[in-house]
Structure 1
Amino acid sequence: MTSKTGKSIVTNVSAFVCGLIFAIGLTVSQMVNPDKVLNFLDLFGHFDASLGFVMAGALMVFISAYLLVIKRMEKPIFASNFDLPKSSSLDSRLIIGSAIFGIGWGLSGICPGPAVANIIGANDKILAFILMMLVGMIIAQKANKNSQ
């Protein structure tokens, strides 16, 4: 059975379940709490190393899954091939984009994943962040089209 986009219902349900697990993990670990994130980034103030343990735990789970499962697969379960980046070079767009992302994350304590997971709280700061994130995505998309 397929949906209007041509993807199977199983693929869409799988994506939903993965997103739900991710959102629950972000919430339980308090990565959706901007103050917790800002305290993690405040090395010389109210430093809170607990998010470092969350990140280390996530890396251990991913590396284990990658080495034991993903690396051995010829293709993904719900796609015809792995969609990997074509380029591995560090260009100015990547460096500038990373810097802008880091500055935004450091100033607000909000990252796109946790912001989306936190949208249900209808917090003004989160909603403003998501709106500005969407504006930034539109500007980046237009800049991409102009540079090609």
Structure 2
Amino acid sequence: MRQVVIALIAGSLFGAGLAFSGMVDPTRVQGFLDLLGNWDPTLAFVMGGAMIPMAIAWLVQKRMTKPAADTHFNLPGTSMLDSKLAIGAVLFGIGWGIAGLCPGPAVADLALNPLPALIFVAAMVAGMAAERFAIK
């Protein structure tokens, strides 16, 4: 139960941050990606601002013996760039540029702009399902 409460708090905080920063508005994201047009630097400030609490979180994590809601840390390792990662990053970027949404803002947008967000989320879930069945 503790894990569910922590997940709800973290998700609510993340969603509130997305809404407060305007990142649930696809036109703001597309404005950031429009380098040769009417460029909107807001997303750069959001990403830069996110590095401060993340840096603090890494410092706190280094001093902890275990996480608050698990028995041990499950941190990803580092690996070299491979074709799967590069192709995935390119597909993510193309989809982000076209739709102006990525997974976090899309889910938050379900409450603010349901129909376009639902179309995106349905396509996202279909893509996740297709990846599960793809030959690895």
Scaled by the length of structure 1, the TM-score of the pair is 0.86
Q: Give the aligned residue type for 1:65.
A: A
CA-CA distance at 1:55 after TM superposition = 1.0
Distance 1:122 1:107 in 2: 17
| In 1, Cα distance between equivalents of 2:126 and 2:67 | 32
Structure 2, unmatched stretches of 5+, are none
Partner of 2:46, secondary structure, is helix
Shift of the alpha carbon at 1:66? 1.2
CA distance in 2, matches of 1:104, 1:76: 34
Does 1:33 find its partner at 2:38?
no
Are positions 1:140 and 2:125 aligned together?
A: no
For residues 1-148 of structure 1, the aligned pairs below 5 Å read 9-67=1-59, 69-86=60-77, 88-143=79-134, 146-147=135-136
What residue ranges of structure 1 are gaps of 5+ in the alignment?
Answer: 1-8
Letter in 1 for 2:25: N
**What does the per-residue CA deviation read over 1:3-23, in whole Å, with 9 as the maximum and x for residues that have no partner?**
xxxxxx222111101100110
Q: Alpha-carbon deviation of 1:141?
A: 0.7
Aligned alpha-carbon RMSD (Å) = 1.3
Q: Which portions of structure 1, spanning 4 or more consecutive aligned residues, are displaced by more than 4 angstroms? A: none
Q: Deviations over 1:111-147 (max 9, x none)?
A: 100101111135322111000000100111111xx32
Letter in 1 for 2:103: P
Give the drift of 1:86.
4.6
- The number of residues matched between the two structures is 136
Name the structure 2 match of 1:6: none
Q: Deviations over 1:27-84 (max 9, x none)?
A: 01000000011001111111111221111111111112212x0122222111111112
Secondary structure of the corresponding residue to residue 118 of structure 1: helix
- CA distance in 2 between counterparts of 1:142 and 1:133 reads 15
